Amino acid sequence: MIRPHIFICENGKYYPYSETASTILDVLRLYCEKLDIKILTATTPDPIELQYALSEMVKKGARWVVMEVTAHALDLYKVKGMEFASAGFTNLTQDHLEYFITMENYALAKAKFFKSDLSKNGIINIDDSFGKELLNEIPCITYSYKKQADIFAKNVKIQGLYSTFDIEYEGKTYNLRTNTTGLFNVSNVLCAIGMCLKAGLDIEGCIKGISAFSSVPGRFEAVDTKDLGLSVIVDYAHTPDGLENILSSINQFKKGRLICVFGCGGNRDRVKRAIMGKIAGDLSDYCVLTSDNPRFEEPEEIINEIEQGIKETSCPYVRNADRFMAIKHAIEYADKDDVVVICGKGDEDYQEIKGQKCHMDERELIADILKEHPEYEIVHSHTSSKSALPLWIAKKCGVPVRISHSHNMILENPFSPKEIIRKILKKPLRKVSTHNFACSKDAAVWLYGEDCWNQGEVNIMKNAIDLDRFAFCK
């Protein structure tokens, strides 16, 4: 086996955003070394930058290039004059209509990649109806997990963070366990295997590489939640198909609720916003509508359009255009065994607002949120509001507590609700109502606001304690 060098030319990073390209990388890395060549373009480079990168690769001994070729790149002739050994087709779903206007135009742009002047071979997903239309232009390998194909996955079992299935190829069956989940990732694996077979690898080498594959940053990426008993997943899903795939996959293994945080990009296809709202509402137990990359649009107006779709469902939801606060709310609302999925940005480390890219790494935000209450032992349990108290009260009293991560409310404490209030007010209470108000001569404390539980907020204090010797606001 020749051990050629490889350079993954996508997004200017060694680990590309495309699941399929990254899976191919993990197979080929067994036989390759990394070359470090910097490019600036976010997706398929412009012709001058692309040819520069390819030239540098040749100088450094590279023999294989795995790259994403977008429909935009094909329509703008960015790869004109190049010849690809293989072209992989994954699917055709609604996206980029702000540019292509119609799905027909989008399909025609993708189809250009499967013409003989650009590619020698095709690796085609026949589970997608459009894939069948690409089979007659160039020699093709087909793949599927639904029907017989050249590369066929059967006995598929989707687990929490991995999948197992059998692959049929050339009359033989191979067992595979991959560290990705969801049927869409099964499809990506099949495509990657087809591409690697056309690159000259044998099927055993492909299986070995796939088994070693970890995950793509920002694609179904599980974030460390410090053994809190809930799951937080970051994903790049920003299209109707992508959102449906990720939510459907989570629904196959979740034990608790599915809480979805998402928005839609500004100055992009507006038609998909209501569609995504309905998909999220149909497949989630709770949604938080927020801002994505609003660009030059107003975030609240984008959320208004998303909201039209989710209103067609029975899913409870809240709105918060501040993405940090939206994520914070979702995590605080979650309880044991719940899954919080944050969709739209993946491993992007910025948010684009009014032409400025402001730093925002969602994994950093999540880590900060989980560090907010390090002095408390966090436990998870669904508990009636009548037995709980606002967290700020406990903090003010300095009493040791265990709290519900979902509502920032005390589950267990050494004092009864009346004793806590007495401790704060430093005097006996004339009248105590355990549901609404606890009143003394000097103060009124709102214990359980009507929106406290369903909003997951701690806006408990209205005109809280205003004593001569002690004033307090949340």
Beta-carbon-side half-sphere exposure of residue 111 (alpha carbons within 13 Å) = 14
Q: Encoding tokens for residue 160?
A: 């929490």
DSSP class per residue in 133-163:
GGTTTS-EEEEESSS--SEEEEEEEE-SS-E
Residues forming a β-bridge with 351: 358
Q: Encoding tokens for residue 5?
A: 């060098």
Greater confidence, 195 or 406? 195
**Exposed/middle/buried for 24, CB within 10 Å: 0-12, 13-18, 19+?**
buried
**Among 81-95, 314-328, 383-397, 440-454, which stretch is predicted with the lowest mean pLDDT?**
440-454
Residues forming a β-bridge with 165: 176
31 band by pLDDT with thresholds 50, 70 and 90? low
Greater confidence, 442 or 50? 50
In 3D space, the residue among 332, 245, 254, 256 whose CA is nearest the CA of residue 288 turns out to be: 332
- Are 7 and 16 within 8 A, CB to CB? no
42 band by pLDDT with thresholds 50, 70 and 90? low
The Cα–Cα gap between 57 and 50 comes to 11
159 band by pLDDT with thresholds 50, 70 and 90? confident
The Cα–Cα gap between 307 and 317 comes to 9
Give the mean pLDDT of 142-158. 95
Q: For residue 401, is pLDDT > 50?
A: no
In 3D space, the residue among 140, 230, 151, 164 whose CA is nearest the CA of residue 191 turns out to be: 151
The amino acid at 406: S
- Are 180 and 215 within 8 A, CB to CB? yes
Q: What is the pTM of this model?
A: 0.62
Q: How many C-beta neighbours within 10 Å does residue 28 have?
A: 22
Residue the block writes with tokens 């027909």:
104
The Cα–Cα gap between 206 and 68 comes to 20
